[in-house]
Amino acid sequence: MSATLTLNKITAQRGISVGEAAKKIADLGWNPSYVQEAMTFPTDYKITKAPKDPMKQVLRSYFPMQEEKDNRVYGALDAALRGDMFRNVEPRWVEWMKLFLAIIPFPEISAARSMAMVGRLAPGEDLRTGFTMQMVDEFRHSTIQMNLKKWYMENYIDPAGFDITEEAFGKCYATTIGRQFGEGFITGDAITSANVYLTVVAETAFTNTLFVAMPSEAARNGDYALPTVFLSVQSDESRHIGNGHSMLMSMLKEPENHLLLERDMRYAFWQNHAIVDAAIGTFIEYGTTNRDKNKESYAEMWHRWIFEDYYRTYMLPLEKYGIKIHHDDVQTAWKRLTEKHYVHKVAQFFAVGWSANFWRIEAQTERDFEWFEHKYPGWYAQFGEFWKWYEKLSHRGQTNILFNSDVGYVYPHRCWSCLVPCLIREDIVTDEIDGKLHTFAHELDRWTAVEAFAGEYQGRPTPAMGRFSGRREWESVYHNVDIADAIKDLGFVRTDGKTLVAQPHLRFDQKEMWTLDDVRGHILKSPLLTLREMSPADREKHLAEYRKGFTINPCN
């Protein structure tokens, strides 16, 4: 008898290695010979080299792993309730989750759908297994996020806004940005949308700010449910990043893809910056009550996650494959976040339009001012007076800040490309598409809409490329409509038929809550339609004034 018990000698069984299992599973596919699969989502890219599945995972290990992750998530949600999380949560934070969680389940499920678009494009079956798991992952993300939102609705002090969430997503002037993001995954050239825009850029670069940086801020505000859910979501992203990179490597093999890749990397990086930084930057910087000067600002996190991690270690190495990387775009985005106060201008825009939202926005206070000035020197001079006005005008009986001429804010033009308004006023450009004038937040936005999303790119036909469509300027939907009627039409009214869902404060007191009557009597105007109505001379004059920006009047 041996001195020590070696159980594995009795129970061990020869098995197959993970690599071997993955290889056998990759052999499940075949080239059909009776009926060909329809290529219903075309691409202008050429893919001849079969991509490899870098993760080599099989569903046998995938499902138990995911179930275990789920158990931890749902266990944590139960624990949060037992620990009375909502007693200590910061409402300023949870209110912004009404916007965030209205947006994010659609891009997630769009990502699931987009796996169908790339699934048939790549030769070989190796990566299809990876796409399969990503499809189920994205289904997970979409429904787990809907569940989290339901959980907030059931347990947070003010459920209004959560209770109309998906309807609000389709209608709100802020969620339109999220729709541009989500539709971008599933519409147009299959590789542009489902591979480059979604996987190579959004998932590889920007999920770090979405799903890592934001949960950290949630935890600082007493919300440990969001980190639990979103860090679990993020743990799936590494597989998706692997899928995207593998597909990208296959495409790089074909020199004729290089021009399209340069186009798509440029479009995807810029638009992810414009959309994700606008939204997530605002949530993190303006949804928090934590003003610890030792914590990283959004800009600092961006530098770490996007500039150092993504740009330096992912984008730059693509140059050695012959892809032109637009370094200046990355630098421009960085300058927009720091010198040009992009995020702060977005937060200001959301705040100005609070009455047509479906969540509460609280004023920033002196304590916040100090932190902003510390992290973003020059902030106070540009935004301090505005937030004082916002606080002052948050009381019923005051004129809605959107229409209050005492403030000095000038409502912005909407960018036809990223759908965030042209907030860095000096950068606004205009151009025509099909004979119609449009406004753009930056030259790169103009390039995206006019040159990239077209049937030809630099002399090369691109018949699979998508087009921008619909009533993209939200404001044109309610041109010349009273704001009260617009809010009613949007459905952003509580069930008493008069109290607004949105409020410019966190005072949970009916007397303080604005109603339709408090905002009635002011007419919405579409800046774009107004601009189109002008004579060419007046238009130039208007744009010159616009580029000069505005000054907020002192608030006494």
Identify residues 504-523 at the interface with another protein (CB under 8 A). Answer: 507-511, 513
Q: Does 316 bind another protein (CB under 8 A)?
A: no
The DSSP result for 283-318, as a single string, is HHHHS-----TTSPPHHHHHIIIIIIIIIIIIIGGG
Q: Does 451 bind another protein (CB under 8 A)?
A: no
Binding positions for another protein, 220-279, rule CB under 8 A: 222
Closest contact distance (angstroms) between CB of 455 and another protein is 7
Write out the two tokens for 521.
């009597």
Closest contact distance (angstroms) between CB of 404 and another protein is 25
Residues contacting 461, CB < 8 A, separation 6+: 44, 455
Query: CA separation (Å) from 226 to 52, 66, 176, 284?
Result: 34, 18, 23, 13
| 87, 293, 320, 367: residue in contact with another protein (rule CB under 8 A) | 87
Closest contact distance (angstroms) between CB of 457 and another protein is 13
Q: Which is nearer to another protein, 179 or 425 (CB)?
A: 179
| 496, 536, 544, 556: residue in contact with another protein (rule CB under 8 A) | 496
Task: Calculate the CA dihedral of residues 228, 231, 235, 241 and round it to 10 degrees.
Answer: 150
Q: Which region among 144-152, 298-306, 431-439, 523-531 touches another protein (by CB under 8 A)?
A: 144-152
Identify the DSSP state of 43.
Answer: -
Burial class (CB in 10 A: 0-12, 13-18, 19+), 494: middle
Q: Does 219 bind another protein (CB under 8 A)?
A: no
Q: Which is nearer to another protein, 105 or 412 (CB)?
A: 105
| 170, 377, 378, 521: residue in contact with another protein (rule CB under 8 A) | 170
Binding positions for another protein, 410-439, rule CB under 8 A: 419
Angle at 361 between CA 357 and CA 367, to 5 degrees: 160
Q: Which is nearer to another protein, 248 or 501 (CB)?
A: 501
Q: Which region among 294-302, 369-377, 462-470, 517-525 touches another protein (by CB under 8 A)?
A: 462-470
Identify the DSSP state of 380.
Answer: I
| 50, 153, 219, 555: residue in contact with another protein (rule CB under 8 A) | 153
Consecutive H or E run containing 181: helix 175-183
First to last CA, the chain: 91
- SS3 of 219-237: the string is HHCCCCHHHHHHHHHHHHH
Instruction: Decide if 50 contacts 126 (C-beta within 8 A).
Output: yes
3-class SS of residue 186:
coil
Q: Does 548 bind another protein (CB under 8 A)?
A: no
Cα(239)–Cα(470) distance, integer angstroms:
34
Closest contact distance (angstroms) between CB of 531 and another protein is 18
Q: Which region among 150-158, 250-258, 318-326, 405-413 touches another protein (by CB under 8 A)?
A: 150-158
CB atoms within 10 A of CB 214: 25
Write out the two tokens for 19.
């690599």
Q: Which is nearer to another protein, 176 or 400 (CB)?
A: 176
Q: Which is nearer to another protein, 106 or 546 (CB)?
A: 106
Q: Does 146 bind another protein (CB under 8 A)?
A: yes
Displacement of CA 497 from its chain's centroid (Å)? 32
Binding positions for another protein, 6-65, rule CB under 8 A: 11, 13-16, 20-21, 24-25, 27-30, 32-38, 40-41, 58-60, 63-64
Angle at 56 between CA 54 and CA 59, to 5 degrees: 135
Cα(38)–Cα(32) distance, integer angstroms:
11
Q: Does 460 bind another protein (CB under 8 A)?
A: no
| 47, 55, 77, 94: residue in contact with another protein (rule CB under 8 A) | 94
Instruction: Give the total of residues touching another protein (CB under 8 A).
Output: 117
Cα(524)–Cα(287) distance, integer angstroms:
27
Q: Which region among 243-251, 357-365, 425-433, 490-498 touches another protein (by CB under 8 A)?
A: 490-498
Burial class (CB in 10 A: 0-12, 13-18, 19+), 455: exposed
Q: Which is nearer to another protein, 334 or 349 (CB)?
A: 349
Write out the two tokens for 241.
């990043």
| 43, 176, 243, 355: residue in contact with another protein (rule CB under 8 A) | 176
| 121, 122, 174, 186: residue in contact with another protein (rule CB under 8 A) | 186
Q: Which region among 177-185, 259-267, 434-442, 538-546 touches another protein (by CB under 8 A)?
A: 177-185
| 45, 130, 142, 386: residue in contact with another protein (rule CB under 8 A) | 142
Sign of CA dihedral 99, 101, 102, 107: positive
